[in-house]
Homo-oligomer: A and B are copies of this chain.
Amino acid sequence: MLLEKLCLLTLTLGLVKSEYKYETKYFTVPLDHFGFQRTETFQLKYLVNEDFWDRGSGPIFFYTGNEGQIEVFAQHTGFMWEAAQEFNAKIVFAEHRYYGSSMPFGNVSLDNKHIGYLTSSQALADYADLLDYLQDHAVTPKYPVIAFGGSYGGMLAAYIRQKYPHLVAGAIAASAPVHMFPGMTPCDAYYRIVTASFKNDGSKHCVDNIRSSWSAIREFASNATNAEWLRKKWNLCDPLKNSSDVQQLLDFLQSSYETLAMVNYPFASDFLVPLPAYPVRVVCQYLNQTLNGTKLMEGIGKVLDTFTNYNKKTKCADYKKGSDYGNLDASGWDYQACTEMVMPMCTYGDQDMFEPHAWNFTEYSDECFKKFNVRPLPDIARVNYGGDRLQAASNIVFSNGLKDPWAGGGVFNTINESVETMLIIDAAHHLDLMPSSPADPSTVKMAREFHKQRIRRWIQKFRK
């Protein structure tokens, strides 16, 4: 279950409408950039808009696509579109291999015998090749390139500046959990922030009620009559026939709270599930006093209803779908989490509102082996990308919203004079990259101004 986390947001973003226009293009990349035994190539998709571009020397704003169809990121990274007009920039969104339509082996790309070239290094090398092509393979590139990305895309934006600084003048890495690797971050950091959001935007009662709900639901549902009551009252698509069903329901609830915290934006949105502004505050109103027994069940039921049926169009709460939304992308991320992206997660139940669940690498590894016939490599991301030793990097802004669970693995200390951090107190998951909204808190507006200042500085330095 933990595997799908980062992916969740991608999918969530998928349903928002927007009207940014671009041309869809394809670029040939090798399957393997770091060896010559495999000679296959495939088409990497990228989106381009040159409406604002100063063709002589304007910068290229380059989104390092993450785990999902690139159109999703193009439509939701409003900050890039808005800033491009100011900077007369060309806009490029590059799709990550093995997601969307950038499939090296078509429909069977995610089969175990083909998926092995789904790695961050290969994706970065795809982007490097594409950037070289966009610069006409010039020994001295003409256009300053600014990389942008959110979440795993933010990690990639930072990484491409670290690994290919000759191709990328600077990077805005929003909500990039580059420290979420073994030994760098306490494994409960993510869940503590989910909990803090529910406490701060909701109340202590809200947190306490959720914390006590796990055993309460388990106990309540163990009685057949109660289980049927829950099915009806909570409008569940499937009955709770056994403890495995109940566990699935609890997992779905936990995942809902995480999503609510991640997308706890100041405006109503129709992400994965349509939600009101400040959804955490909204759901917590049903849990703002100490609740027990049936009252607690009713309260949680209202939270569930808000999450699954805010627009009143959902037939029933489909708790069995978990975080597998039938999208190929999810499977791709699971593989990455089972190879390079080993991010320990745990709960203790005290500073977080969840049932205690230890991080067990062996169990995790066995699950990966069963699923993909691979063993995760807990050191590989640190060895490759530096973990928390980024002193030699330059021209990166790491921004994190304090309301964002992923901030738990973010960079908060300024590393050096040009690797800076931007803490956005009021923001959830990479709010700073989203289109501006009248409801934006001043802190996120300031963050966007900060980003633009730094982008200006990097471009000036490039031109010197």
Contact = CB atoms under 8 A, between A and B. Distances in A.
Given A33-B34, A121-B34, A395-B392, A165 B386 contact: yes
A301 B335 CA distance: 66
Interface in A159-192: 163-167, 183-184
Contact of A383 (B37, B116, B165, B167): B167
B163 A128 contact: no
Given A137-B379, A166-B386, A116 B38 contact: yes
Contact of A384 (B128, B139, B140, B183): B128
Given A132-B383, A383-B129, A383-B167, A140 B389 contact: yes
Interface in A390-445: 390-395
Nearest to A378: B137
Interface in A35-73: 35-38
A382 interface: yes
A300 B218 CA distance: 95
B116 A35 contact: yes
A388 interface: yes
A349 interface: no
B36 A34 contact: no
A32 interface: yes
B139 A382 contact: yes
A141 interface: yes
A33 B115 CA distance: 15
Contacts of A119: 34-36
Nearest to A113: B37
Interface in A71-120: 113-117, 119
Contacts of A38: 37, 116
Nearest to A390: B166
A36 B121 contact: no
A387 interface: yes
A308 interface: no
A374 to B, nearest CB: 6
A122 interface: yes
A347 interface: no
Given A166-B386, A392-B394, A183 B34 contact: no
A35 B122 contact: yes
Contacts of A183: 139
Contact of A34 (B34, B166, B386, B392): B34
A339 interface: yes
15 contacts: A32-B34, A33-B34, A35-B117, A37-B113, A37-B115, A37-B117, A128-B383, A129-B383, A137-B379, A139-B183, A141-B389, A164-B384, A165-B393, A392-B394, A392-B395
Given A139-B183, A139-B387, 16 more contacts: A35-B122, A36-B116, A36-B119, A36-B374, A37-B113, A37-B114, A37-B117, A132-B379, A139-B184, A139-B382, A139-B388, A164-B383, A164-B386, A166-B386, A166-B390, A392-B394
Interface of A: 32-38, 113-117, 119, 121-122, 125, 128-129, 132, 137, 139-141, 163-167, 183-184, 339, 374, 379, 382-384, 386-395
